[in-house]
Structure formats: C-alpha cells, structure tokens
C-alpha cells in the first residue's frame, strides 16, 4: 500500500489548522486585538481605524497584512525549482523555521511593540497558506475557517440532499478541519490567558509533531 504524501494527509492538516486557530486567538488576546492569520479581519479593522483617524492603530493592522503578502510569495519560491535545487527538503526547512519563530515569539516581553510578534506570526501563517492547501483531492485552508466552512456546507448538501455517496467522506473531512480550527482557538484563548506569551510554545509543539510526520512517513516508505 502506497504511503500518501505527508502534507496532504488529514492528520497533518488537523495539526496545522489547530495551530492556526490557536495563533489567531493568541495574537488577538495578547497583542492588541490584531489577528495573525485572518487578514480579512485586519483589513476591516484597519479600515475602521482609518475612518476614525486612528492612524497609529491602523498601522498595527497594516504590518501583519504586509508580512502575509511576503510570506505567500516566499512560499511560492520554496515550491519552485530553485529552492529544490539548493535544498533537499525545502518544505521541511520551512516548517522548522516556523517552529523557531514561534519559540522565539514566546520569549518576547509583553511591553514591546506588538508588531514584533504579529509580523513574524503572520509570515508563518502565510507560508502555511501558500504551502499546504490540499487533503488528498480536497482543498482547504489551514489558517482560516470561512472557506472550510463553505466547503463543509456544500459537501453536506451534496451528501444528504443530492445523495452523492463520496460527499459523505468529504463532509467528515471538512467537519474535522473546522472543528480543529475552532478547538485550536479555544485552547489558544485559555492558554494565552493562563500562560501569556509563553503559550506560543503550544502551536510550536503542534508544528513539531507535523514535521516529525514527514520522517515517520519516510520510514514507512522505505519499509515497503
């Protein structure tokens, strides 16, 4: 039996979406109501601040947006031929870099500018968004839930109203993804209030487990 590509498995996606939900709760609670992943929210909040001439507050939402743009571009670079010609496993190196960023963020004192936390986390989220988008043949988003919720609803309608057999499995996958994101956000809210900045170690640990899965699957393939 062929071992599927690690980054397209449900277990991998659940770890990433849980980390994504956690990080949005983490930055929103601990870093001035700024979202790390949900750039739609940042655009709206920035627009509201601009309309009220709160320019300093608007800048706080601008930096994560810019970091997200750069992160998506960097993710595309990692998927290109140039990165693969330089590194054996550029995606794994990117995962390791994301873990390092989150571990470092946990040491940032609460009295420093919020951008020192929200910008690197937004960059990490953008890399996840750019690098990991599929579970088997299904599309998903690891750092937000609107698209996943829409696909869950469409799959459920196809499964239970139109009676499309394979849509039941799709519904279960998207239900798991949406639940994972929500569960990560709940955990992020509790952990951030209890541990403060050090709570960033939890999503770092989730990404560590996701990284280990690459090597576990490598061993399984060698045994086949």
Q: Mind listing the pLDDT tens digit of every residue in the chain (224 residues)? A: 577 788 899 999 999 999 999 998 998 898 877 777 767 777 888 899 899 888 888 887 888 888 888 888 888 887 777 666 666 677 888 888 889 999 999 998 888 887 888 888 888 888 888 888 899 889 999 888 889 999 999 999 999 999 998 999 999 999 999 999 999 999 999 999 999 999 999 999 999 999 999 999 888 878 77
Q: What is the structure's pLDDT at 85?
A: 66
Has residue 223 been placed in a domain?
A: no
Cβ 149 vs Cβ 21: under 8 Å: no
Say how many domains are in the chain: 1
Q: What is the structure's pLDDT at 75?
A: 83
- CATH code where residue 31 lies: 1.20.1250
- Which range of residues forms the domain containing residue 195? 6-213
Q: What is the structure's pLDDT at 189?
A: 96
Q: What is the structure's pLDDT at 82?
A: 64
Has residue 1 been placed in a domain?
A: no
Cβ 177 vs Cβ 148: under 8 Å: yes
Has residue 224 been placed in a domain?
A: no
Has residue 198 been placed in a domain?
A: yes
Residue 105, classified by CB atoms within 10 Å of its CB into exposed (0-12), middle (13-18) or buried (19+), is buried
Has residue 42 been placed in a domain?
A: yes
Joined together, the tokens standing for residue 207 give 């990404």
Q: What is the structure's pLDDT at 63?
A: 85
Has residue 222 been placed in a domain?
A: no
Has residue 118 been placed in a domain?
A: yes
Residue 1, classified by CB atoms within 10 Å of its CB into exposed (0-12), middle (13-18) or buried (19+), is exposed
Q: What is the structure's pLDDT at 31?
A: 80
Q: What is the Cα–Cα distance from 146 to 138, expressed in whole angstroms?
A: 15
Q: What is the Cα–Cα distance from 36 to 125, expressed in whole angstroms?
A: 7
Q: What is the structure's pLDDT at 138?
A: 93
Helix (H) or strand (E) holding 203, with range, is: helix 201-223
Has residue 221 been placed in a domain?
A: no
């Amino acid at each position: 039996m062929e071992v599927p590509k690690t980054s397209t498995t449900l277990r991998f996606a659940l770890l990433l979406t849980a980390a994504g939900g956690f990080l949005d709760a983490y930055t929103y609670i601990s870093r001035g109501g700024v979202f790390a992943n949900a750039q739609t929210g940042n655009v709206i909040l920035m627009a509201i601040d601009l309309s009220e001439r709160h320019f300093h507050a608007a800048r706080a939402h601008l930096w994560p947006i810019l970091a997200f743009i750069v992160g998506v571009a960097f993710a595309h670079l990692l998927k290109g031929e140039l990165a693969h010609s330089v590194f054996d496993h550029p995606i794994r190196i990117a995962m390791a870099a994301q873990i390092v960023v989150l571990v470092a963020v946990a040491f940032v004192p609460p009295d420093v500018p919020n951008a020192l936390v929200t910008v690197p986390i937004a960059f990490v989220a953008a890399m996840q968004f750019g690098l990991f988008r599929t579970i088997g043949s299904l599309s998903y988003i690891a750092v937000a839930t609107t698209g996943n919720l829409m696909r869950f609803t469409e799959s459920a309608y196809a499964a239970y109203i139109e009676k499309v057999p394979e849509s039941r499995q799709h519904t279960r996958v998207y239900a798991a993804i949406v639940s994972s994101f929500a569960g990560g956000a709940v955990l992020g809210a509790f952990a951030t209030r209890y541990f403060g900045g050090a709570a960033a170690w939890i999503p770092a640990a989730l990404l560590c487990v996701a990284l280990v899965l690459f090597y576990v699957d490598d061993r399984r393939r060698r045994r086949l």
